[in-house]
Each structure stands twice: as C-alpha cells, then as structure tokens.
Amino acid sequence: MILVTGGTGYIGSHTVVELLNEGFDVAIIDNLSNSNIRVLEGITAITGKKPLFEQFDLCDASLLNNFFKNNRVDAVIHFAAYKAVGESVASPLTYYHNNLVSLMNLLYAMSSYNVPALVFSSSCTVYGEPDSLPVTELAPIKTATSPYGNTKQICEEIIHDSIKAHPKLKSIALRYFNPIGAHESALIGELPIGVPNNLVPFITQTAFGLRDCLKVFGNDYDTPDGTCIRDYINVTDLAKAHIAALKRMQKSENESGFEVFNLGTGMGSSVLEVINSFEKTTSVRLNYIFADRRSGDVVKVYASTDKANKILGWKAEKSLDETLLSAWKWENFYRKSIAN
Ligand code: UFG
C-alpha cells in the first residue's frame, strides 16, 4: 500500500487519483486542516475506487506509529504541510513545528517499519531568484525568504541526512514550480480557504464574481511586459510525476539514495500572459488593475526539465490554455455543488 499524507489536499488528491488509476492500493492520512472530506467523493467518482482514509495529525507520533503497525506500507508520498508564504512569516513557529515534526515522525516510523521509499513535496522556492534560467537542479540553494521556504530546504536536508545514516531508505524530492488547474473531470481541484493568495484561484474567483478585481502585483519589472514570470504546471501532469518517482525507487534505479527533480513545463509565462490565455480560452473578460509589487516576489523563474524528462521519463503535456480552462470548469462545478 502507498501512504499519501495530505491526500485530500490539492496536489495530494490529484496524485491519489493517478495512483488508483495505476492500480496501487492507497491510504490517505490527512488532518483536514486545509482540505475537505468531500474530496474523497470526488476521488471515488473519478476512479470508482475508495482509498483508505484516516484523519489525524502527523505531529502525533503515537497515532502515526499505530498506523504503520496496523498497515503494510510499501512507500510514502508526503504532501501534508502548511504552504502559505505570508502566513509563515506571521507564524513561523507554527510552520517550523508542523512541517518539520510531521516529517521527522514519518521518518522515524518508516525506519521502525522498514519502509524503503519516500517521495517528498518540495518547491522551486528553494532556488529563490535564480542566477540563470532555466533553473536546473544544480543551481545553488538560496537563503529562504520565508519560514515556509525554509521548511522545504530544511526538510530536504533532514531527508538527505537520514538517508546517509540509513542507506536502505531512498527518497526523491520533487521541486514544484507553480501547480495550477484541476482534474479534467472537474470533480476535484484547488480549494483555497478564504481569499486566495495564488494567481489562478484569484483569477477564477474574480471571473466567477466572488472578487471585484484581480490586482496584478507590479507591471514595472524587468520582463518583456513588466509582470513577473513563472512556470505554471498542470496539476495532473504534476501528479503523474509522483508515480514515475515511486516506480523509479521501487525498481531501485536511484542508486544515490536521494535525488531531486524539477517539475515544471520549462516555459515561463508572465501574469499578463496568464490573464490573456484565461480570457481567450474561457471567453470571459477579467476585471484587473495594476497594483504595487508584492513584497518577496521573485521576478522570473522557470524550470529546466531535462533531468525529469530523461531520468523519470516524465514530461508535462497539457498546455496553459487547457489547464486554465480546467481551473475555470472546476470553479463553476464547485460553486454549483456547494450551492446545492
Ligand atoms: N499575482 C498577482 N496577483 C494575485 C496573485 C498573484 O499578480 O492576486 C502574481 C504574483 O505577484 C506572481 C504570480 O502572480 O508574480 C504568481 O503568484 P502565486 O502567488 O500564484 O505564486 P508564487 O510564485 O508567488 O508562489 C508559488 C507557491 C509558493 C511557492 C512559490 C515558489 O504558491 O508556495 O511558488 O516560488 F513558495
């Protein structure tokens, strides 16, 4: 069985779908702190299968150990973590406690029960503002600009050190660029609580009429149209990379024990390009204004995907247009479903 922590969250739920479609047995542990139990219905509607689900906090080591005692876990995909940059600046200890203790509890349990493989959710935030583009996995790790980013760096180090001490354990850290979109069925997608921080949920909520206006944070950057550039990757494409990583470890292809891979499309898009693509693909006009820069924003970042393409045999397939359309379909489906 594959244990997916945070499996009712945004990327976790899409990965659970891909795992079930590939025939894996899946168990989810999630404390539902930033997700909804109804996600399980979406997963089952898409796949016709029901993953095992347990609701508890990974910071509770005794509950976690019991889980490993009672279930045969073959590998772990670890998504469960806090992920809001601004919130992490306001509550650093909450972030360090949650993101580090949950990982350490998992690693202890995996070593006690001889579970050999861990896929870890990391982020391109570890590169900060890169010196050259596209950014490769060999780019230097920059001082983190937020406690959230720092937890990703520290977690990678904790895993790396643990592997050196326990060579039977293998791990792949996947550094996500900007995951967006929803499952093509529109039965699962991103569910931000409150006002979204991220661009695409803000766009879909504005288009739906829940927000008056999208603020484009800065149009005087040193980029062709003055707005920031990111590598927006479809969430289902991203989910599939986790299966590739899992299979690589199960076939013991990763001799080095700890590997990192960038997950992006290899293509940078500006905020204005995203807005234009959204308007074109959905035929919905978006109300937006230019506003001040957001503090802490990187100007330009997009991935070199060569390593993931060659070694994982994985490549992002979906276009920005179709991914934004999937986000829009999800926003509509979700709003109708909660209205009923
Ligand atoms: N943006 C706007 N208006 C908004 C929201 C975002 O103009 O209302 C802009 C941002 O300024 C940025 C771009 O849209 O230029 C993307 O912003 P997001 O908040 O969607 O994504 P970020 O790249 O800032 O952050 C994402 C993840 C973080 C992760 C980071 C790594 O959300 O968890 O990538 O670089 F740390």
Q: Does the C-beta of 320 come closer than 6 Å to ligand 1?
A: no
Q: Tell me what pLDDT residue 281 has.
A: 98
Q: Tell me what pLDDT residue 99 has.
A: 98
| 199 CA from centroid of ligand 1 (Å) | 6
Catalytic residues: 148
Q: Tell me what pLDDT residue 340 has.
A: 77
State percent of the chain over pLDDT 70: 100
The pLDDT of 21-46, averaged and rounded, is: 98
Per residue in 139-154, pLDDT (tens digit) is 999 999 899 999 999 9
Q: Which of 97-101, 256-260, 302-306 has the lowest mean pLDDT?
A: 256-260
| pLDDT > 80? residue 198 | yes
Closest residue by CA, ligand 1 atom 19: 198
Q: Tell me what pLDDT residue 317 has.
A: 98
Q: Which of 85, 156, 198, 216 should be mutated for ligand 1, with most atoms under 8 A from CB?
A: 198
Nearest partner of 113 among 57, 173, 168, judged by Cα: 168
Burial class of residue 36 (count of CB atoms within 10 Å of its CB; 0-12, 13-18, 19+): middle
pTM of the entire predicted model: 0.98
CATH no. for 2-180+233-264+304-309: 3.40.50.720
Mean pLDDT score across all residues of the chain: 97
| pLDDT > 90? residue 335 | yes
Burial class of residue 154 (count of CB atoms within 10 Å of its CB; 0-12, 13-18, 19+): middle
pLDDT band of residue 339 (cuts 50, 70, 90) is confident
82: DSSP letter: -
pLDDT band of residue 23 (cuts 50, 70, 90) is very high
Q: Does the C-beta of 88 come closer than 6 Å to ligand 1?
A: no
Q: Which bin fits 96, alpha (ψ -120 to 50), beta or left (φ > 0)?
A: alpha
- Of ligand 1's listed atoms, the one at least distance from the Cα of 301 is 35
Q: Does the C-beta of 303 come closer than 6 Å to ligand 1?
A: no
Q: Are 265 and 232 in contact (CB under 8 A)?
A: yes
State percent of the chain over pLDDT 90: 96
Nearest partner of 243 among 303, 175, 313, judged by Cα: 313
Strands 214-217 and 2-5: unpaired
- Of ligand 1's listed atoms, the one at least distance from the Cα of 294 is 11
Per residue in 65-101, pLDDT (tens digit) is 999 999 999 999 999 999 999 999 999 999 999 999 9
The pLDDT of 145-171, averaged and rounded, is: 95
The pLDDT of 41-58, averaged and rounded, is: 98
What whole-number distance in Å separates Cα of residue 60 and Cα of residue 62? 6
pLDDT band of residue 255 (cuts 50, 70, 90) is confident
For the stretch 315-338, what's the b/e string if a residue is b when 16 or more beta carbons lie within 10 angstroms of its beta carbon? ebebebeebbbbbbbbbebbeeee
Q: Which of 205, 230, 262 should be mutated for ligand 1, with most atoms under 8 A from CB?
A: 230
Q: Tell me what pLDDT residue 127 has.
A: 95
What whole-number distance in Å separates Cα of residue 9 and Cα of residue 257? 27
